[in-house]
Amino acid sequence: MNTIIGLLIIAVGSMGQSSSYVPIKKVKTWAWESFWLVQGIFAWLIFPYLGALLAVPDGHSLLEILSSGYGAAWKAMFFGALWGVGGLTFGLSMRYLGVALGQSIALGTCSAFGTLIPALMTGTDLLHGKGLVLLIGVSVAIAGIAVIGYAGSLRAKNMTEEQKKAAIKDFALGKGLLVAILAGVMSACFSLGLEAAEPLKAAALSMGTKALYAGLPAILMITLGGFVTNAFYCIYQNFKNKTQKDYFKVPGNVLLNNLLFCALAGILWYSQFFGLALGKSFLTEGSTMMAFSWSILMSLNVTFSNVWGIILKEWKGAGKKAVGYLVIGMLILIFSLIIPSLF
């Protein structure tokens, strides 16, 4: 029962993340770099900080938790900075490929690297026992991603240029695929950051933090590192494109609209890692399901993002064959979620 509860919590968080790019479509006037920076303030600073405060037990402070663990906080922040490159290019993949295909390729790559690399770093044998189950599960997930990618290529062939631009303003398949793969590889550093930040979790538990919230300070440090990377790039783009006045030149009602929708996007985005931290507390430590939790989150993100892609009519005009392969790919991903429970 605990495993089911944990998976449901992760699924709810995943649904939030997959919905986070919908509010951004309601942001008016601002350039891409402007709204990406503002939503990042909410997604990577404000809400992670508020979440981390839940892990602070009476008589202790957040700084006390973060300063323990032999520099674990700095290691987590370093991997967060690398992950930030993935988060940055992740946003660009949405721009070039749309919500459905962009998230599918990026998160599929992220799923593989983020699950297998930590396993290899801890000495897991991927050819036997738990390691083999992980390898099979990730391979099935990648197969599902490949099928969805094929569906995307069929969509590109079947749609006219006008339909592509109507569904996705800056549609560019070749450039988008390269950006999405880079995003996936670098985004896997978030998983590495979680491994590096295990001493923070242990320190929080030793101070009396509930297991439910013990992983949240680590997430704060990882997202903090990611924010630094993204803020640097966005501010650079602001000055390069002369869009630094975006934040001040819009009327008050537009500014309020943009801030509210960026905040909504931010909390929805953060919900995936908030849900992951809470959900993992219900899984057995050292179990295959625990090791596979990262891949589960990414697979759910892909599934829910494609549901949104259909709702937002990104697949309109793609043809029945393309949509059919999309559905098959999503079913394969869903099947990959139950593989750890079969062994």
Per-residue pLDDT tens digits for 215-264: 999 999 999 999 999 999 999 999 999 998 888 888 888 889 999 999 99
Range in 9-23, 53-67, 103-117 the model is least confident about = 103-117
Is 9 a domain residue?
A: no
Per-residue pLDDT, 46: 96
Report CA 74 to chain centroid distance, whole Å. Answer: 21
Is 234 a domain residue?
A: yes
Cα angle 20, 116, 142; round to 5: 60
pLDDT reading at 165 higher than 60? no
Q: Give 49's pLDDT tier (boundaries 50, 70, 90).
A: very high
Helix (H, G, I), strand (E, B) or coil at 124: coil
Per-residue pLDDT, 164: 57
Q: Give 333's pLDDT tier (boundaries 50, 70, 90).
A: confident
Q: Among 46, 21, 52, 48, which residue's Cα sits nearest to residue 35?
A: 21
Name the helix (H) or strand (E) containing 284. none
Alpha-helical regions (H) of the chain: 2-19, 21-24, 32-40, 47-53, 62-66, 72-121, 129-158, 161-167, 173-187, 189-196, 198-206, 216-240, 246-249, 252-280, 288-291, 293-311, 320-338
Share of the chain above pLDDT 70, in %: 92
Is 10 a domain residue?
A: no
- Distance between CA 288 and CA 5 in Å, rounded? 16
Q: Is 239 exposed, middle or buried (0-12, 13-18, 19+ CB in 10 A)?
A: exposed
Contact 138/112 with Cβ under 8 angstroms?
A: yes
Q: Give 141's pLDDT tier (boundaries 50, 70, 90).
A: confident
In the chain, DSSP finds a helix count (H) and a strand count (E) of 17, 0
Q: Give 278's pLDDT tier (boundaries 50, 70, 90).
A: very high
Is 189 a domain residue?
A: yes
Per-residue pLDDT, 162: 61
Count of Cβ atoms closer than 10 Å to residue 343 Cβ: 11
Is 4 a domain residue?
A: no
Per-residue pLDDT, 343: 65
Q: What is the mean pLDDT of residues 45-63?
A: 93
Contact 114/294 with Cβ under 8 angstroms?
A: yes
- Distance between CA 313 and CA 149 in Å, rounded? 17
Is 14 a domain residue?
A: no
Report CA 306 to chain centroid distance, whole Å. Answer: 14
Alpha-helical regions (H) of 30-128: 32-40, 47-53, 62-66, 72-121
Count of Cβ atoms closer than 10 Å to residue 149 Cβ: 20
Per-residue pLDDT, 163: 57
* CA 125 vs CA 59, 232, 322: distances in Å: 42, 39, 38
Determine the structural domain holding residue 40 and report its residue range.
20-342
pLDDT reading at 179 higher than 80? yes
What's the total number of domains in the chain? 1
**Packing angle of the helix pair 216-240, 198-206 (nearest 10 deg):** 130
Is 7 a domain residue?
A: no
pLDDT reading at 167 higher than 60? no
Contact 328/41 with Cβ under 8 angstroms?
A: no
- Distance between CA 174 and CA 195 in Å, rounded? 33
| pTM attached to this predicted model | 0.83
Is 133 a domain residue?
A: yes
Q: What is the mean pLDDT of residues 145-174?
A: 68
Q: Tokens representing 156?
A: 């590109």
- Distance between CA 108 and CA 147 in Å, rounded? 11
Q: What is the mean pLDDT of residues 62-75?
A: 88
Q: What is the mean pLDDT of residues 268-289?
A: 88
Q: What is the mean pLDDT of residues 310-325?
A: 81
